[in-house]
Amino acid sequence: MPKVALRDSLLRRPRRLRRSGALRNLVRETRLDPGGFVAPLFVRSGRGIREPIPTLPGQMRFSPDELGREIDDLQALGIQAVLLFGIPERKDPEASGAYADDGIVQDAVRMVRRWHPSMVVMTDVCLCAYTDHGHCGVVTDGRIDNDASLELLATTAVSHVAAGADVVAPSAMMDGQVGAIRDALDASRFDETAIMAYSAKYASSFYGPFRDASGSAPQFGDRRSYQMDPPNVREALREIALDVGEGADIVMVKPALTYLDVISAARAAVTLPLAAYWVSGEYAMVKAAVAAGWLDERRATMEVLTAIKRAGADVIITYAAADAARWLGEEAT
Interface residue with ligand PBG, options 136, 253, 320, 328 (CB under 6 A): 136
Is the backbone of residue 116 left (phi > 0), alpha (psi -120 to 50) or beta?
beta
Regarding 57 and contact with ligand PBG (CB under 6 A), the answer is no
CA 210 – CA 41 distance, rounded (Å): 11
Give residues 181-220 in contact with ligand PBG (rule: CB under 6 A). 207, 210-211
Closest separation between CB of residue 139 and ligand PBG, Å? Answer: 15
Instruction: Give Cα separations from 234 to 225, 230, 261, 322 (angstroms).
Output: 18, 11, 11, 34
Between residues 188 and 232, which has the closer beta carbon with respect to ligand PBG?
Answer: 232
254 flagged as catalytic: yes
Task: Report the half-sphere exposure of 126 (CA within 13 A, side-chain side).
Answer: 28
Overall size of the chain counted in residues: 333
CA 322 – CA 333 distance, rounded (Å): 17
Q: Of the residues 3, 91, 254, 287, which is catalytic? A: 254
Per-residue contact track with ligand PBG, 114 to 133, x per CB under 6 A?
----------x-x-x-----
Interface residue with ligand PBG, options 106, 199, 280, 318 (CB under 6 A): 280
Closest separation between CB of residue 279 and ligand PBG, Å? Answer: 4
Q: Of the residues 91, 201, 287, 309, which is catalytic? A: 201
Between residues 37 and 207, which has the closer beta carbon with respect to ligand PBG?
Answer: 207
Closest separation between CB of residue 202 and ligand PBG, Å? Answer: 9
Between residues 168 and 268, which has the closer beta carbon with respect to ligand PBG?
Answer: 168
CA 58 – CA 287 distance, rounded (Å): 9
CA 320 – CA 302 distance, rounded (Å): 9
Contact predicate 55/209, CB 8 Å: yes
- Tell me whether strands 274-278 and 167-170 are parallel, antiparallel or unpaired: unpaired
Between residues 211 and 267, which has the closer beta carbon with respect to ligand PBG?
Answer: 211
Per-residue contact track with ligand PBG, 140 to 179, x per CB under 6 A?
-------------------------------x--------
Of 309, 333, 297, which is closest to residue 36 (Cα–Cα)? 309
201 flagged as catalytic: yes
Element holding 217 (H helix, E strand): none
Within 8 A by CB and 6+ apart from 327, the residues are: 298, 301, 302
Q: Give catalytic residue positions.
A: 201, 254
Residues that bind ligand PBG (CB under 6 A): 124, 126, 128, 136, 171, 207, 210-211, 223, 279-280
